[in-house]
Each structure stands twice: as C-alpha cells, then as structure tokens.
Chain A
Amino acid sequence: GNSVTQMEGPVTLSEEAFLTINCTYTATGYPSLFWYVQYPGEGLQLLLKATKADDKGSNKGFEATYRKETTSFHLEKGSVQVSDSAVYFCALSLIKAAGNKLTFGGGTRVLVKP
C-alpha cells in the first residue's frame, strides 16, 4: 500500500535557524508529492508540490526536492521566522479514476521561538 513517514515533532527552533523536516514514502506507482501546512486555528494549506523525479517545489522560502532514488521529499527552509510555527504534513497522491486521493504523514509540529 501507500504510506508516508515523516519525523515526529515537536521541532523547536530559534528564529533564523535552518529547518529540515524529513519525509519518506512508499507507493505502488509514481506519485505526486506535497507539503501542506496547518497554522494554528486554520485549515491545511498547500505549501508546495512536485510531480516528477528531481522536481523542486518551492514557496515562501521553503523547498523540497522529489528524490525517487531515496523515496524522499524533505522540506527545508534556510531561516525560519516565528510565523512559520505550524504543523507540516507531507503527502502523496496517485492519480486514479476516483481523483487524486491524498495519503498523509503524521504531521510535524514546528515551534519557532523569538
């Protein structure tokens, strides 16, 4: 079956620190990969995505590269801000007739302190 594994949190950082959240996946096919972010009290928002090997998704200073050889899609940001405090979800999707079902990782809570 399909699954996504991401590092457990919480991850606590100081402002301007480097952030990495590891994400690996298993899939019966060739998935699209996503990172979603959930800010306190809000819904999940798409942060970035990549649809094929070696693609790099980027948004708001975050980046993740689709690595097929290591089945990974690690999220990175070079200098975090307090406003980046949120829960981050890695997810995959296989295009099917039923339409883009998402399989999520468990989420990683990130807390950035000033």
Chain B
Amino acid sequence: AQSVTQLGSHVSVSEGALVLLRCNYSSSVPPYLFWYVQYPNQGLQLLLKYTSAATLVKGINGFEAEFKKSETSFHLTKPSAHMSDAAEYFCAVSSNSGYALNFGKGTSLLVTP
C-alpha cells in the first residue's frame, strides 16, 4: 500500500518569500505523485504530478516539485509567495498496484503581507 505524509499542518510565509511544503511518500512500487490545491469553499485543482518522466516537475501558478527517490520526498516549492497562494495543499499518491488516490492530511498555507 502507498501513503504520503505531509510535514506541517500549517505553514506561514511572508509575501515574496519562498514557499516550501513537504511531502514524503511510502510505496513498495514506483509511485505516481500529485499536488492538489484547494481554495476556500472550492474543489481540488491539480497543481502538478509526477509520473516518472522527469524528476523536476513544473506546475501551474509558478509551483514546482522535485521527486527524490533517495529521500522518498516530493516537496512543493514556489520561489515567491503571493497572497493568492493562501489555500490548503494536498499531496497524494497512487500506483499501478493501488489505483485510488491516497491523500496526505493537507497543509494550510498562510501568506502574510
């Protein structure tokens, strides 16, 4: 079975600062990894996904994530935070042995002026 752990349920950054949201995965088979964002009172929107094509994945809104097998990590970064980035972020994993998405518990990102 595969799972993800998101370190830090709340992250606060200043506007213009680096955003780093952490996600570690556990999977006995090659994983497929996703980052979704959820703005208040909305559904989930895909930011980016890793499917083994490239370890550095670029997504929407300036976000990117790097797959590091040695560290079993897939951390999400953005060089400069905007106020509009304030939202809940979910890391998720699936694989060819478990098709369903398994979500992490989520990280709430707060951006301060």
Are A and B co-members of a single complex? no
